[in-house]
Structure 1
Amino acid sequence: MSSDILLFIVYCVAVTALAWPLGLFMARLFSGERTLLTPVLGPIERLFYRAGGIDPEAGQNWARYAAACLAFNAVGWLILYAILRLQGHLPLNPQGFGGLAPDLAFNTAVSFVTNTNWQAYGGETTLSYLSQMVGLTVQNFVSAATGIAVGAAVIRGFAGRASDGSDARNLGNFWVDLTRAVLYLLLPLSILLTLFLVWQGVPQNLSAYVDATTLEGARQTIAQGPAAAQIAIKQLGTNGGGFFNANSAVPYENPTPLSNFAEMAAILLIPAAFTFMFGRLVRDMRQGVAIFAAMGILFLGALALTYGAESEGNALFANLPVEQAAGNMEGKEVRFGVGESALWATATTAASNGSVNSMHDSFTPLGALAPMLLMQVGEVVFGGVGSGFYGMLAFVVLTVFLAGLMVGRTPEYLGRKIETKEVKLAVIAFLVMPLGVLVFGAAAATLPVALASLQDKGPHGLSEILYAYSSATGNNGSAFAGFGAATPFHDTLLGIAMLLGRYVFIVPMLAIAGSLAAKKKVAPSAGTFPTDGPLFVTLLVAVVLILGGLTFFPALALGPIAEHTAMLAGETF
């Protein structure tokens, strides 16, 4: 256990130490300032603008920014859907895979365009190299860049400094933000991580699959392919979709302790950096640190619950000759153990990543409860690249609104009044998760065509449904492995949930940013509630937990909590 605690400390220190300078770099990048990479990448950036007919100096208001974002993502979905449907007729398909069925192609295309990377298929048994590279890997970059771009635009709205409101028509330029996110941020980091993973033994080739004979004399097919590059961006872009079906539990994706640590650190690197980018852009680093602290407290609480539950083992094995000194090892790689598995599970669901190095379906009920709740609150505990931060800003709006009620004056944040319009838009964004999880989940829990996908009955069966629709709506992508999602019903409904979770969140947050940018900044007074201290951090954490608890506790009580109670009583279903 002491080694696990040391791992957690080293991990948190490493992520913080890397995220701080990266956040400062991102602040310069999205402010249009010169960076260390500008001499090399600046000419390439300008070439893209000329080729696309883009004026990098032309700003966009929130509506035009949102329209550009939605149009780009719609075209990306159409292209990816076509690739998946037609892959049997396209090159770089040495395995001879045919095209995906319409419902599975719809689900997969939506999944990767929305940065969810939900996988209702087996990567090495379903997709060609062309589909993996030109289809999925490209979307890994541009879907992550979309979240980063929107995050930068929302921050500009919150940070707008013009006293005359002239910033109202300039949240930035989506095409410029998208280009810079890919060219200066995601691509260089991915190249570095790819080279590191290749060094650690992850394959990066276009070779045909290899047939091998096992020690028992059986025949086994060993998959090959350009895995390292996709794994790098799947982690850095909080995408999560693995090259192989079992994701980072596969030695080919995650062969060594160093690769495991690097991949875990990459999950939270850019989301954590957003808090420091925010502090620099609003010219008050204490504001960014306060949000980082709130995220960190929630993260450590979830990690403590997951690790504690998994370390205790399974009470149903207490009277059996099963050694549980190492904790609940079902579904976990022996080389990682409980500590690294719990840390990865917490990080991947705190961020909208969804990659796994263990099977969450085999976690104890309370061990799976924390990852599930992290997704249900909107994955704002660091969250996806960009999306997690603007998701947390929705909670900030609600928090300062409640604080304003307590002090008896109009709430303010960063010198701008939070009024009815902003609160209503924040509530719309918040209601996306209950719609996708509870309403869609209720349909999946009652219709016979949906219930056929469950592996288990009773509370765990309900947990499978809750986890799936929390993951889809939260744009996470992880799943309980026993849930058979590859059916027309679930492919379609989960796809719709992903669209809601992505775009019905983006539009209200851009609208809030546009509204705040148009407002004049007011000077702080004796009645202004400070938003950079311990009291605000505590209140923000409480709002996230209370709103999440009030919304999802009844469903969780019937799922993982009921299952945990039954486990302690020695009952099975």
Structure 2
Amino acid sequence: MSSTAAGLLQVGLLIVALAVVHRPFGDYMARVYTGTKHSRVERVVYKIARVDPESEQRWGSYALGVLGFSFVGIVFLYVVQRVQSVLPFNFDRGNVEPGMAFNTAISFVANTNWQSYVPETVMGHSVQLIGLTVQNFVSAAVGLAVAVALVRGFVRHQTDRLGNFWVDLVRGTIRILLPVSFLFAIVLVALGVVMSFQSGVTVDGQSVATAPVASQEVIKELGTNGGGVLNANSAHPFENPNGWTNLIEIFLILVIPVSLTRTFGTLVGDRKQGHVLIGVMGTLWAAMLAVIWVAEANGLRPLEGKEVRFGIPSSALFADTTTATSTGAVNSMHDSYTGLGGGGTLLNMLFGEMTPGGVGTGLYSILVMAVIAMFLAGLMVGRTPEYLGKKLGRREVTAAAVSILAMPTVLLIGAGIAAILPSTQGALNNTGEHGLSEILYAYASASNNNGSAFGGITVTNDWFQSSLGVCMALGRFVPIVAVLCLAGSLAAQKKVPVTAGTLPTTGPLFASLLGGSIVLVAALTFVPALALGPIAEALL
């Protein structure tokens, strides 16, 4: 079988698997967030945390819960890294230096998992387990909670309540992320993924690092986190040993973002609304897969840096999926891709990572873009825009605009400063167009909470550690606050009846408008920068 045929078979299997679980898993997640009963474990958690699970919060209180919880997570993770030397299973790796600990703490709490360190030489197992793995779960649960809060804003009428952040956080962790992770960790171990508490093994006189990989690999992908416990990430045979694990890991990256569109349709009482979203997401995902695949198969350096065990199709499929979501895991080094192939992975992130996006973040990002699309449609016909029975006035459009513009703002400012600072030039292994692409990729990855990197850039100096950390924080939490403000404003409204002038949002016209808005916003914002980087490199 040719590599192209094998690649198409993998894509087909992936789509079939996602289609099979889409309905039951999406409806299950809808029940998780609408149920009124609390399990015994959840009640224990609420009692310890002194949370009243029956109470609900205004959007401001919900946002403060997200920010407060995340801030405590950053402080805890920073402290754990700084005292690593006194923790068990540290393997004499010492305390993590302050700049790196700061960057890593923000990275994992923001669901970015950008890693400016070599995991197997810097982090001991205790920090990995009680620090990084915990954040892999709860940061993903935060994204789910915010998405559900926004959906409640569309569903509810004339109320100032969006639910309870702490209940949503606990349910997302205990009822969704933990059970799926437990199941697939067993599957990964059975397929050869390493699970060991040793620091390493000796093979032919060479020391090879090991870790409790399987338990962290599954939530790394399922939670669209992306940070590996080994430096080569999912290109390492201990994390991703064969073709089946490779396909399963891609499935895990996509399963929650894809199924959330069904959850959305179920919660708003019109599943066709979810069909439109998954249609737009899937079309852009497939288009970028074709671009990356063709570029790598026909490029001047088609095998450099690729995972040769699986071939170009699997590398392209993984690269497209990990950058179209906010994951950042890699099974091949994107820095070695052709100009067009690497530009495709970069453009995926510049779309805002809503194709289909990360856990929760993809759904709320594309709903925000839907608000923008309906606003544009309203301008064209001179009518007050509305979406899902809610009018989109100045407050709603402003909140949506802030959410959409936060990422480009911090990305372009950060990348622009880095490109002209003399102290950053030594961090680049390449000059010219590719060097600029490395800088753009780094700040796009941080600002979009992706975490993957062009491997040719070294980001361990003080500027990169601090600036990328700030980009990760602003890129995560500014949109979240704006989204919750939007949700609160929507929930306070009464439902607007459908009239002859209402634009249908379940057909191809709205799907085209939504997809076009995603592409248009990215093009207007980033084409000048892309022209100087990956586009120029591809044309040379």
- Provide the TM-score with structure 1 as the length reference: 0.92
Do the aligned partners of 1:455 and 1:461 also contact (CA within 8 Å) in 2? yes
| Match status 1:26 vs 2:21 | no
Residue identity opposite 2:190 in structure 1: W
> Residue in 1 aligned with 2:472?
498
> Residue in 2 aligned with 1:58?
55
Given the alignment, which residue of 248, 251, 262 partners 1:276? 262
Residue identity opposite 1:52 in structure 2: A
SS in structure 2 at match of 1:431: helix
> Residue in 1 aligned with 2:95?
99
Give matches, 1:149-168, under 5 Å.
Answer: 149-160=145-156, 162=157, 165-166=158-159, 168=160
Whole-Å Cα distance in 2 between the matches of residues 141 and 434 of structure 1?
Answer: 27
Whole-Å Cα distance in 2 between the matches of residues 491 and 359 of structure 1?
Answer: 21
> Residue in 1 aligned with 2:143?
147
Do the aligned partners of 1:123 and 1:242 also contact (CA within 8 Å) in 2? yes
Given the alignment, which residue of 316, 331, 341 partners 1:367? 341
| Match status 1:265 vs 2:251 | yes
SS in structure 2 at match of 1:152: helix
Q: Deviations over 1:80-101 (max 9, x none)?
A: 00011110122222x2101111
Q: Deviations over 1:113-153 (max 9, x none)?
A: 00000011111111001011001001101111111111111
Whole-Å Cα distance in 2 between the matches of residues 125 and 208 of structure 1?
Answer: 10
Given the alignment, which residue of 513, 525, 545 partners 2:499? 525
| Match status 1:9 vs 2:12 | yes
Give matches, 1:435-446, under 5 Å.
Answer: 435-446=409-420
SS in structure 2 at match of 1:54: coil
Q: How far apart are 1:404 and its partner, in Å?
A: 1.4
Whole-Å Cα distance in 1 between the matches of residues 172 and 409 of structure 2?
Answer: 31
Moved over 4 A (4+): none
Residue identity opposite 1:260 in structure 2: N
**Structure 1 residues without counterparts, runs of 5 or longer:** 214-218, 318-327, 567-573
Given the alignment, which residue of 217, 226, 240 partners 1:231? 217
Whole-Å Cα distance in 1 between the matches of residues 105 and 433 of structure 2?
Answer: 31
Q: How far apart are 1:44 and its partner, in Å?
A: 0.9
| Match status 1:174 vs 2:174 | no
| Match status 1:447 vs 2:404 | no
> Residue in 2 aligned with 1:569?
none
Residue identity opposite 1:13 in structure 2: V
| Match status 1:338 vs 2:307 | no
Residue identity opposite 1:9 in structure 2: G
> Residue in 1 aligned with 2:371?
397
Given the alignment, which residue of 296, 303, 306 partners 1:310? 296
Q: Aligned residues: percent identity?
A: 49
| Match status 1:108 vs 2:104 | yes
Q: How far apart are 1:33 and its partner, in Å?
A: 5.2
Residue identity opposite 2:503 in structure 1: F
Do the aligned partners of 1:404 and 1:529 also contact (CA within 8 Å) in 2? no
Q: How far apart are 1:112 and its partner, in Å?
A: 0.2
Q: How far apart are 1:434 and its partner, in Å?
A: 1.5
SS in structure 2 at match of 1:210: strand
How many residue pairs end up in the alignment? 537
- Seen in structure 2, the aligned counterparts of structure 1 residues 447 and 208 have a Cα distance that, compared at 3 Å, is closer
TM-align CA RMSD: 1.1
SS in structure 1 at match of 2:207: strand
Given the alignment, which residue of 73, 76, 83 partners 2:73? 76
> Residue in 2 aligned with 1:564?
538
SS in structure 1 at match of 2:206: strand
> Residue in 2 aligned with 1:124?
120
Q: How far apart are 1:307 and its partner, in Å?
A: 0.6
Q: Deviations over 1:212-247 (max 9, x none)?
A: 22xxxxx31111221110101000000000010010
Q: Deviations over 1:289-344 (max 9, x none)?
A: 11111111110111111111011121xx7xxxxxxxxxx11101211111000000
SS in structure 1 at match of 2:203: strand
- Seen in structure 2, the aligned counterparts of structure 1 residues 291 and 458 have a Cα distance that, compared at 3 Å, is same
Residue identity opposite 2:74 in structure 1: W
**Structure 2 residues without counterparts, runs of 5 or longer:** none
Of 47-56 and 514-523, the range deviating more from structure 2 = 47-56
| Match status 1:201 vs 2:192 | yes
SS in structure 1 at match of 2:238: coil
Q: How far apart are 1:15 and its partner, in Å?
A: 1.8
Whole-Å Cα distance in 2 between the matches of residues 208 and 99 of structure 1?
Answer: 17
Do the aligned partners of 2:356 and 2:362 also contact (CA within 8 Å) in 1? yes
- Provide the TM-score with structure 2 as the length reference: 0.98
Whole-Å Cα distance in 1 between the matches of residues 170 and 208 of structure 2?
Answer: 37
Whole-Å Cα distance in 1 between the matches of residues 141 and 85 of structure 2?
Answer: 29
Do the aligned partners of 1:377 and 1:433 also contact (CA within 8 Å) in 2? no
Q: Deviations over 1:473-515 (max 9, x none)?
A: 0000000011101111101000000001100010000000100
Q: How far apart are 1:377 and its partner, in Å?
A: 2.1
> Residue in 1 aligned with 2:523?
549
> Residue in 2 aligned with 1:248?
234
SS in structure 2 at match of 1:498: helix
> Residue in 2 aligned with 1:212?
203
Whole-Å Cα distance in 1 between the matches of residues 36 and 56 of structure 2?
Answer: 16
Q: How far apart are 1:409 and its partner, in Å?
A: 1.1
Given the alignment, which residue of 37, 40, 48 partners 2:45? 48
> Residue in 1 aligned with 2:280?
294
Do the aligned partners of 2:10 and 2:247 also contact (CA within 8 Å) in 1? no
Whole-Å Cα distance in 1 between the matches of residues 268 and 504 of structure 2?
Answer: 15
Whole-Å Cα distance in 1 between the matches of residues 436 and 24 of structure 2?
Answer: 43
| Match status 1:187 vs 2:173 | no
Do the aligned partners of 1:16 and 1:272 also contact (CA within 8 Å) in 2? no
Do the aligned partners of 1:271 and 1:389 also contact (CA within 8 Å) in 2? yes
Residue identity opposite 2:270 in structure 1: D
Q: How far apart are 1:436 and its partner, in Å?
A: 2.0
SS in structure 1 at match of 2:501: coil
Whole-Å Cα distance in 1 between the matches of residues 9 and 211 of structure 2?
Answer: 35
